[in-house]
Amino acid sequence: MHTKLLKSQKNEVFSAIGDAGLDPSEFEWSEVKTKWKGNGVEPIQQLTHRPTGYYFAFDRYQISANPRSLPSNLAAAEMDHERMNTWHGVLKAVSVWALIVRREYLEPDLWELSQSDKKLVVTQISDLDNTGFTAEEQQRLASSIKELREFLLASATQTDTQRKFIEARLQHLEEASGRLGRKDWITLAMGTLTNIVVGVSLAPEAARELLRVAGALLGWVVGSVHLIP
């Protein structure tokens, strides 16, 4: 197997990355050492996803392709794809790897979000009673939720199903202001935001931005609130 990929092969890799729903501009090519003994010193080509550091190494074993990639489907460890005698097999492995990268890159960090939720809920909630909202406060909440809805629906990349999900969750939140006390409502609000993050698969940066905007729009319920350090 040749060490360097043909331009046409790189273009097929480009297409596989795009088909997986990733941005090819976030990847870069480099040359690294072969892992397998007996291959000599000539470097092999590697494609790395810059935001995560995950990579696909187009390694070889003597005359056969023997690619490696990080992560594997089940662990944050390098995966040996074993020997392959066709480019089709290598390209298929690239496609599988790209889907794993997309999953791990776009998967929200629920542990991090739970800490952000906690920051919102406990910042001043210990001093907050659970009295109901006045009619004026309910109107203010409705206005804040409308702005939050507009922010969330501004993206043209959302599917109709995702947009309906967002609408339904925020509608439920708005209606709850007429029956829940403020302490219970703010807890529901943060649960709703977490559900939206997971339900529409927001990227980590988008999730943080959502929490920042929500803090600015809804923080008045409990006073000065900072969602993100």
Considering the domain architecture, whether residues 68 and 133 belong to the same structural domain is answered as no
| Domain's final residue, options 44, 77, 106 | 106
As a whole number, mean pLDDT of residues 14-25 equals: 91
Considering the domain architecture, whether residues 92 and 143 belong to the same structural domain is answered as no
Residue with the bigger pLDDT between 33 and 130: it is 33
**Per-chain mean pLDDT for the chain:** 83
Q: Is 84 within a domain?
A: yes
Q: Is 1 within a domain?
A: no
pLDDT band at 226 (very low <50, low <70, confident <90, very high): very low
Considering the domain architecture, whether residues 117 and 44 belong to the same structural domain is answered as no
| Domain's final residue, options 59, 86, 106 | 106
Q: Is 227 within a domain?
A: no
pLDDT band at 113 (very low <50, low <70, confident <90, very high): low
Residue with the bigger pLDDT between 3 and 80: it is 80
Q: Is 229 within a domain?
A: no
pLDDT band at 110 (very low <50, low <70, confident <90, very high): low
How far is residue 108's CA from residue 201's CA, in Å, rounded to a whole number? 7
Considering the domain architecture, whether residues 122 and 73 belong to the same structural domain is answered as no
CA angle at residue 27 from 65 to 30, to 5 degrees?
Answer: 55
Considering the domain architecture, whether residues 210 and 117 belong to the same structural domain is answered as yes
Residue-number span of the structural domain to which 48 is assigned? 7-106
As a whole number, mean pLDDT of residues 51-77 equals: 90
Per-residue model confidence (pLDDT) at position 11: 96
SS3 of residue 51 by DSSP: coil
Peptide bond into 71 cis (omega under 30): yes
How far is residue 160's CA from residue 167's CA, in Å, rounded to a whole number? 11
Instruction: Check if the beta carbon of residue 225 is closer than 8 Å to that of residue 124.
Output: yes
Considering the domain architecture, whether residues 151 and 118 belong to the same structural domain is answered as yes
Q: Is 188 within a domain?
A: yes
Per-residue model confidence (pLDDT) at position 158: 80
How far is residue 102's CA from residue 104's CA, in Å, rounded to a whole number? 6
As a whole number, mean pLDDT of residues 102-108 equals: 79
As a whole number, mean pLDDT of residues 65-84 equals: 89
Q: How many domains does the chain have?
A: 2
Does pLDDT of 73 surpass 90?
A: no
| Domain's final residue, options 72, 106, 140 | 106
